[in-house]
Amino acid sequence: MSTDHDAAGLKASILVEALPYIRRFAGKIVVVKYGGNALAGTSEHDALSLFAEDIVLMRLVGMRPVVVHGGGPQISDLMKRLGKETEFVDGLRVTDAETVDIARMVLKGQVNPQIVAAINVHGHYAVGVSGVDGGLIRATARDERLGFVGDVTEINPEVIHGLLDDEFVPVIATIGSDINGQAYNINADTVAGAIAESLGAEKLVYLTDIEGLRRDVADAASLIRQTTADELDQLVADGIIAGGMIPKVASCIHAVRNGVGNAHILDGRIAHVLLLEIFTDSGIGTMIKGLHGTTGLQGDDA
Ligand SMILES: Nc1ncnc2c1ncn2[C@@H]1O[C@H](COP(=O)(O)OP(=O)(O)O)[C@@H](O)[C@H]1O
Ligand SMILES: CC(=O)N[C@@H](CCC(=O)OP(=O)(O)O)C(=O)O
């Protein structure tokens, strides 16, 4: 009997703890980058279902989530099946004409509808778009040695505002185009940051395959719970941020210096990690504090 009461009390206290955050974040835009690795976790279907539940819950309590997704491992899989070699330079996939077609097929044809469908199990919430739709992402070639890898030159967020105003959850595949209609393959981390800035998002959240930033990649105990753009500049200069973490951290630094409230790096493999970050006092993962951001950390400006 008393255990039943304890369990019920715990459930109630979790809901009560969420209340101030539900109030605070009502109407706020949260850009969530869902990496291909998070999607390709041990149990793909379960990981995606849990993620979809979090997005739907955020939307139902009045937040305005925007999903930007990757699909790197999935592009590599198809390339392998087609007998094509994959080559990365500084974390970016060397993209010839055939590879940009493959990237477009995988991102807009496979990963995007998978995420949209998982969200829409719960109702008619999600709409998938690519950066080509509504001229959302204008891009230009980054470096001719990388082929059709794009740098974002401009974000035209009208199509996203339209979807948000109609209460949809935009799900964005990161293919952009130049003024001549040429498609480019763009790193999803970079796009998420640029979109968060253009929307003046309250939060930019990266879901990845590690619990957050570490001072020493090999030491789980060195997790950084809260940091600033200035401190991150130093960690980058010291070579502590490496590999696939570099574009995430660069985007977080840029975003919090350009109007985004806070940025977060979280472990997408943890069940309901988004809810744990947004709706609990303790938060989770690494938070990069912006100038205007509010935090979920106890004793802060809650
Ligand atoms: N300082 C650091 N703290 C945490 N992870 C780091 C750090 N430096 C490099 N990494 C690496 O970055 C990886 C996440 O980047 P990546 O594999 O590209 O993720 P995703 O596929 O989700 O975009 C981690 O698994 C980790 O190995
Ligand atoms: C230019 C470039 O490298 N583009 C990425 C786009 C997908 C992506 O970024 O996916 P993740 O977030 O899952 O890594 C690629 O081709 O893999």
Complex ipTM more than 0.90, yes or no: yes
- Note whether residue 16 is domain-resident: no
**C-alpha span between 52 and 39 (Å, rounded):** 11
Distance 46 CA to ligand 1 centre (A): 22
Residue 15 lies in a domain: no
* Active-site residue identified among 54, 133, 189, 283: 189
Q: Which of 6, 287, 57 shows the shortest CA–CA distance to 169?
A: 57
User: Which residues form the domain of 99?
Assistant: 25-289
Q: Please indicate if the annotation marks 70 as binding a ligand.
A: no
Using CB atoms within 10 A of its CB, is residue 9 exposed (0-12), middle (13-18) or buried (19+)? exposed
User: Residue 39: which CATH number?
Assistant: 3.40.1160.10
Q: Is 284 domain-assigned?
A: yes
Asked if residue 157 belongs to a domain, the reply is: yes
Q: Is residue 144 assigned to a domain?
A: yes
Domain-located, residue 19 = no
Which of 10-24, 76-90, 159-173, 240-254 shows the lowest per-residue confidence on average (mean pLDDT)? 10-24
Tens of pLDDT, residue by residue over 217-266, are 999 999 999 999 999 999 999 999 998 899 999 999 999 999 999 999 99
Q: Contact at 8 Å (CB) between 207 and 33?
A: yes
Strand partners for 288: 227, 263
| CA-to-CA separations, 242 to 35, 59, 192, 238, in angstroms, rounded | 17, 34, 19, 10
Q: How much distance in Å is there from the Cα of 108 to the middle of ligand 1?
A: 24
Best mutation site among 217, 224, 238 for ligand 1 pocket (most ligand atoms within 8 Å of CB): 217
- Which amino acid is located at 124 in the chain? H
Ligand 2 neighbourhood includes 75 CB (under 6 angstroms): yes
Q: Is residue 274 part of a domain?
A: yes
Q: 54: closest CA among 255, 289, 279, 252?
A: 279
Task: Spell out where 212-261 has E strands.
Answer: 226-228
- Structural domain tally of the chain? 1
Whole-prediction pTM value? 0.94
- Respond yes or no: is residue 36 known to be catalytic: yes
